[in-house]
């Protein structure tokens, strides 16, 4: 199984428990449950910068330095499906 990441927040989608849901109740293959529920983003107006602010504390909890977490997110998030169209 290839490792996939939430295409909104970059969280690793390691098991089906963490997957968001589509309108018909099936699991999303692209987004986690924190970002996506019943076929829609939970926070549709969120910007990429705001997403970074949300993610940094979680990554710090995982033991990462704030500056390193921020740098990683700034590099990684623009490559994800949700933010691709926004950034360029
Ligand atoms: Zn997510």
Report how far ligand 1's centroid is from the alpha carbon of 6 (Å): 5
Report how far ligand 1's centroid is from the alpha carbon of 55 (Å): 9
Domain ranges, ordered by start, for the chain? 16-87
Report how far ligand 1's centroid is from the alpha carbon of 7 (Å): 7
Which of 71, 19, 73, 20 has the alpha carbon at shortest distance from 48?
Answer: 73
Report how far ligand 1's centroid is from the alpha carbon of 74 (Å): 15
- Mean per-residue pLDDT, 41-51: 96
pLDDT of residue 2: 60
Q: What is the pTM of this model?
A: 0.85
pLDDT of residue 86: 47
Report how far ligand 1's centroid is from the alpha carbon of 65 (Å): 21
d(CA 34, CA 64): 21
Instruction: Let me know if 12 is exposed, middle or buried by CB neighbors in 10 A (0-12, 13-18, 19+).
Output: exposed
Model confidence pLDDT, tens digit, residues 20-40: 999 999 999 999 999 999 999
Report how far ligand 1's centroid is from the alpha carbon of 12 (Å): 9
């Amino acid at each position: 199984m290839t490792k996939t990441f939430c295409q909104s927040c970059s969280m690793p989608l390691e098991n089906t428990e963490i997957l968001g849901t589509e309108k018909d109740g099936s699991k999303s293959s692209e987004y986690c449950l924190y970002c996506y529920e019943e076929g829609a983003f939970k926070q549709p107006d969120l910007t990429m910068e705001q997403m970074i602010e949300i993610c940094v504390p979680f990554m710090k909890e995982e033991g990462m330095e704030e500056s390193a977490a921020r740098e990683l997110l700034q590099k990684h998030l623009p490559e994800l499906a949700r933010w691709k169209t926004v950034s360029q």
